[in-house]
Structure 1
Amino acid sequence: MTPVGPPGTSAAGPPYGGALVDRYGRVATDLRVSVTDRCNLRCTYCMPAEGLAWLPKDEVLTDDEIVRLVRVGVELLGIREVRFTGGEPLVRPGLTALVAGVAALTPRPGIAVTTNGLTLARRVGALAAAGLDRVNVSLDTLRPDRFRALTRRDRLADVLDGLEAAAASGLTRVKVNAVPMRGVNDDEACDLLSYCLERGYELRFIEQMPLDADRRWSRADMVTAEEVLASLRSRFTLTPLPGRGASPAEHFLVDGGPARVGVIASVTRPFCGDCDRTRLTADGQIRSCLFSRTEDDLRALLRGGARDEDIAAAWRGTMAAKPAGHGVNDPSFVQPSRTMSAIGG
């Protein structure tokens, strides 16, 4: 990818003006906000059974601080989509208030939540009323025994209830995220798709990425997008959909449509050249990429009395230095020190 200078920018430095433009001309309009690093599951591919060392409470952004940073992003930097992540975002008591606060911004961004679904059934009504537009629910298996082994919790029924409640709540779209793992759940692709088709959920398969706490990820154990598609084609007819844009997923009509399925080939077919994301961690750090090994501290600016314009300038500087790609396929790749649960998905 060759550095370019979009209008009002220089190829070597941060852009002038409002947008979060990097030196390759990509514009970040999608903000991922991690509201907590805590989780009520202990998924084997994410964290150890005993959990991790959680952030001290005083280091986590307050509700007001999160809303202020999102407002800076929306009003001064061109953010148009906000997704709350974790950890597990629904363990944060103030999540409904956060959704309401962001829904009140002008221009109003789209608002989504990525969740494990454990408490979604009892929370989704209030979240939808507060302004939530969409929800993504993680579901790697339909088998209770596998769910218990994968998550170290016997809570599959709660996740399925959460999906059902989300679909009944009037949200724009209910998506399901599944991570196929070799020898674990890679024989369930067709069953997961059938389950989602019957209920009107949109399923996306995501290649497993090297962001686990145990540093056990291996390319050999990762099930590729092509393997998933080959499995699906044994039972369904898949028709590629054009016009992917900045979406991380490649979409396919299923049996002629209108239902569709997506695959996110983060490792084997990186989409870094079209990335439009910027990330805020629960402790107020801005990251230009999920795999960044550096981040910049907006919390210190907030608590030091900085003006909105100063925060926006620092944010622009971080994004201007965004690398061309995540580098997972480079021989020199080093996994970031933060895990997925600490960064936010």
Structure 2
Amino acid sequence: MTAIPVAIGVRVPADAATVLADRHAPLLDTFGRVHRDLRISLTDRCSLRCTYCMPEQGNEWLARQSILTVDEIVQVASVAAAAGITTFRLTGGEPLLRRDIVDVVTRLAAIRGPAGDPVEIAMTTNGIGLARTIDVLAHAGLARVNISLDTLRADRFRELTRRDRLDDVLAGIDAAAASGLRPLKLNAVAMRDVNDDELVELVEFARAHDAQMRFIEQMPLDAGHTWDRQRMVTRQEILDTLAARWTLTPVPGRGGAPAERFLLDGGPDSVGVIASVTAPFCGNCDRLRLTADGQLRNCLFSTTEFDLLPILRDNAGGGGDTGGTDGIADRDGDIERLLRGCVLRKLPGHAIDDPAFLQPARGMNAIGG
């Protein structure tokens, strides 16, 4: 893993120098993609141990002192919003494990873009704990939520997650459905001989909860690096299974969304498929990621990170910060330069099909969903 420590150390194409200098320019990479979505990981810790994500034991957690504080998250997010980011998605690990999650949502929801427009706050969660927090989170400014649900069967859930918490997840889904936060999305990683016989059942469950089911191709992001392409259920297999039950009509206008959507029997209900492996959508990707320990990533599969911690925790800042407003502005400028440098270094795609592809050293829980 390569970490780039400071903005001035980022090498960018010569014709991109003006982009780094122009604070009013959109977050545009060298392939014409404008970035509007920042995924903020709040922790690498999780209340489950899903087999496709992390080992049951022996996990090496991020040092607590390296985890970004709320103030640091808000400072980065404020700079990002000023540069054109319009959506912040809170991820993990499991974001609800942050004891200050309500404060995080409250303060992020107060951020405004350059024209005074509010940002959108979304969250991806395993649902455990959501039943007791969804109302206060919605009041704090949470706009929408995605909940992971790979199976509806308690025995499979225990085997897959190594925890007996399905009832807690289902309670979280019930609470989210009752909250009125929409769209409500349920995510399932489709796995051969694990849950591939439940695809139709999962869609029916989602429809009963006024939610959209989304199936995700399993990606090489497990901490143990045991991903096997042959075990992956492909986009086409998912669609073939669903087409045996419903007429699927593609929904146009996907834009930068990761999921292809298909109406079920003409709608209004729909299902989504995220096919990062067999049908990558890199050409329209508008997402950046901030890890819980302050690393900017321009791709989920990147092997390069851009380290914000030296900027955020250097009391001298980039221009002699002694705690005054001038020093804060200097630090904001350094954050923005690193942010723009990160965007400019983004590659055209993740190259999973390239024989030279290298799986990221971090597992999904440490990168952020």
| 1:19 matched to 2:29 | no
2:87 paired residue among 67, 81, 86: 81
1:147 paired residue among 157, 164, 172: 157
Provide the TM-score with structure 2 as the length reference.
Answer: 0.89
1:53-81 CA-to-partner distances (Å, cap 9, x unmatched) read 11111111001110111011002x10001
Structure 2 SS opposite 1:296: strand
Matches for 1:133-144 after TM superposition, within 5 Å: 133-144=143-154
Matches for 1:1-345 after TM superposition, within 5 Å: 12-14=15-17, 15-16=19-20, 17=22, 18-50=25-57, 52-75=59-82, 77-107=83-113, 108-304=118-314, 305-306=317-318, 307-345=331-369
Amino acid at match of 1:326: H
1:19-38 CA-to-partner distances (Å, cap 9, x unmatched) read 22111111111000001000
Kept after mapping to 2: 8 A contact 1:253/1:260: yes
Amino acid at match of 1:37: D
- Aligned-pair distance for 1:51? 5.0
Kept after mapping to 2: 8 A contact 1:28/1:276: yes
Structure 1 SS opposite 2:231: coil
Structure 2 SS opposite 1:112: strand
Q: Distance in 2 between matches of 1:72 and 1:95?
A: 20
- Aligned-pair distance for 1:204? 0.5
Kept after mapping to 2: 8 A contact 1:32/1:344: yes
- Aligned-pair distance for 1:299? 1.5
Q: Distance in 2 between matches of 1:47 and 1:281?
A: 17
- Aligned-pair distance for 1:104? 0.6
1:107-149 CA-to-partner distances (Å, cap 9, x unmatched) read 3211100000111111111110100000000000000000000
Amino acid at match of 2:41: S
Provide the TM-score with structure 1 as the length reference.
Answer: 0.95
- Aligned-pair distance for 1:300? 1.1
Structure 1 SS opposite 2:190: coil
Structure 1 SS opposite 2:240: helix
Q: Distance in 2 between matches of 1:227 and 1:192?
A: 15
Q: Distance in 2 between matches of 1:228 and 1:248?
A: 16
Give percent identity, aligned residues only. 57
- Aligned-pair distance for 1:173? 1.8
Change (3 A) 1:11 1:193: farther
- Equivalent residue for 1:6? none
Change (3 A) 1:187 1:27: same
Q: Distance in 1 between matches of 2:366 and 2:16?
A: 29
- Aligned-pair distance for 1:13? 3.0
Structure 2 SS opposite 1:286: strand
Structure 2 SS opposite 1:315: helix
Q: Distance in 2 between matches of 1:162 and 1:174?
A: 12
Q: Distance in 1 between matches of 2:107 and 2:140?
A: 8
Amino acid at match of 1:87: G
How many residue pairs match? The answer is 336
Bigger mean CA offset, 167-176 vs 198-207: 167-176
Structure 2 SS opposite 1:129: helix
Kept after mapping to 2: 8 A contact 1:116/1:159: yes
Bigger mean CA offset, 178-187 vs 168-177: 168-177
Q: Distance in 2 between matches of 1:226 and 1:110?
A: 32
- Aligned-pair distance for 1:248? 0.9
Kept after mapping to 2: 8 A contact 1:12/1:23: no
Q: Distance in 2 between matches of 1:52 and 1:291?
A: 20
Amino acid at match of 1:169: S
Q: Distance in 2 between matches of 1:199 and 1:106?
A: 32
Kept after mapping to 2: 8 A contact 1:39/1:88: yes
Amino acid at match of 2:346: K
Q: Distance in 1 between matches of 2:61 and 2:361?
A: 14
Higher relative contact order by CA 8 Å / sep ≥ 6: 1 or 2? 2
Q: CA RMSD in A?
A: 1.3
Gaps of 5+ in 1: 1-8
- Aligned-pair distance for 1:168? 1.2
Structure 1 SS opposite 2:229: coil
